[in-house]
Amino acid sequence: MISRTISTSALLICLGCQTKIVLVPDGDPVLFAKPVKASVYAFDKDGKLVGPSTVKIPAGWYALPKAKK
């Protein structure tokens, strides 16, 4: 009986802790809700690609898709 009560309680607690996943369509911009650590590439003053470097992107910034040519 105690085992059944513990199992039922664990099940109810787990059901209340669900993770929600939202898939963003490819090509749509996204807004960061929290600061994000990311590896990024950039161009230097001569137009040379450098990186990757790890940076902290603040909340409220947008991530945009790579430009189509």
Predicted TM-score (pTM) of the model is: 0.51
Cβ neighbours of residue 65 under 8 Å, at least 6 residues apart? Answer: 26, 27, 28, 29
Question: Residue 12, Cβ neighbours under 10 Å: how many?
Answer: 9
CB 31 within 8 A of CB 60: yes
14-29, pLDDT tens digit by residue? 666 667 777 777 888 8
H/E segment holding residue 4: helix 2-15
Summarised one tens digit per residue, pLDDT across range 28-58 is 888 999 999 999 899 999 999 998 999 999 9
Half-sphere exposure of 20 (CA within 13 A, CB side): 3
- pLDDT of res. 37: 93
